[in-house]
Amino acid sequence: SAGADKSVILWDLAKGTPRHTLTEHTAAVTALAAADDGKLLVSAGADGKLVTWDADTGKKANVQKTKYSEIAALAASPDGKTICSGGVETRLDADTGLIRFWSAADLKEISPAIEHASGVLSLAFSPDGASIASGATDHVIRLWDVKDRKQLHHWIGHLSSIRALAFARKGGALASGDYEGIVKVWNSEQSSGPDVLQAHAVGVQCLALNKKNTLLASGARDGWIGSARAAFLDDTVTGIDRRSDR
């Protein structure tokens, strides 16, 4: 876990107590991602830094001070070798959204950045790692080819900034969450989500799907965790039954 106190905490799940408290960032930690089969933890912050940590020992591995004024999103490729970051850079007094790609091993930038029309707030790799989805302050979700950095598709339907994205592990479905508490589920062809959930009263911060694609979980700024039962089949979602628990 991480937050405004500038630290990252690794927890003992069995005991419910902190194992390691990691300090390197000089501003709020805004994003976390696990790489290399969970052996490596990546953190990013409002200080524009990327930091990798040994997930077992808590030792710092690498630090990269980027050109971002703030990093808002991280995603690790399915093979664990690439870290993708999204955020805002200031150029000639104007803010530009950018997606950058880094080697998980040494945090060296490995390819040209993707210039985004607006600030990037969320990222998610497709299950095969060939494409990556981005959500932004302009309310649009975009799908990019990782190899040639070209836009493949876009989805329009949210009425506020998109803070969370999650791909189903099969079937091509993509879930998204916005600042108004709305969760949508899209397929690869549609321009609007086939299923919409008023999941929260305030902004959705994170989304996750279980391995069987039968449960979608959402977390929000209201302190609630929501869950939706779903079956992702042939790019569709059915049987949604939302419940929320503190």
pLDDT of residue 122: 97
Residue with more model confidence, 235 or 226: 226
pLDDT over 50 at 201, yes or no: yes
- 3-state SS assignment for residue 105: coil
Closest CA to 50 of 21, 78, 82: 82
Q: What tokens were used for 186?
A: 């899209």
Helices vs. strands in the chain: H and E counts, helices first: 0, 24
Per-residue pLDDT band at 235 (split at 50, 70, 90): very low
Residue with more model confidence, 145 or 244: 145
pLDDT over 50 at 246, yes or no: no
Long-range contacts of 113-119 (CB under 8 A, 24+ apart): 114/144, 114/149, 116/86, 116/142, 119/72, 119/87, 119/88, 119/95
Per-residue pLDDT band at 78 (split at 50, 70, 90): very high
d(CA 223, CA 246): 7
Per-residue pLDDT band at 238 (split at 50, 70, 90): very low
pLDDT of residue 237: 44
pLDDT over 50 at 175, yes or no: yes
Across the range 222-240, mean pLDDT stands at 50
d(CA 187, CA 179): 21
Residue with more model confidence, 206 or 237: 206
pLDDT of residue 239: 39
pLDDT of residue 126: 95
pLDDT of residue 213: 77
- Mean pLDDT for all residues in the chain: 86
pLDDT of residue 228: 58
State pLDDT tens for residues 133-155.
999 999 999 999 999 999 999 99
CA 161-109-166 angle, to 5 degrees, is 35
pLDDT of residue 232: 45
Across the range 200-222, mean pLDDT stands at 81
State pLDDT tens for residues 81-101.
999 999 999 877 778 899 999
Q: What is the pTM of this model?
A: 0.88
- 3-state SS assignment for residue 114: strand
State pLDDT tens for residues 28-69.
999 999 998 899 999 999 999 999 999 999 999 999 999 999
d(CA 223, CA 235): 30
Q: CB count, 10 Å around CB of 34?
A: 14
Closest CA to 193 of 231, 131, 237: 237
pLDDT of residue 123: 98
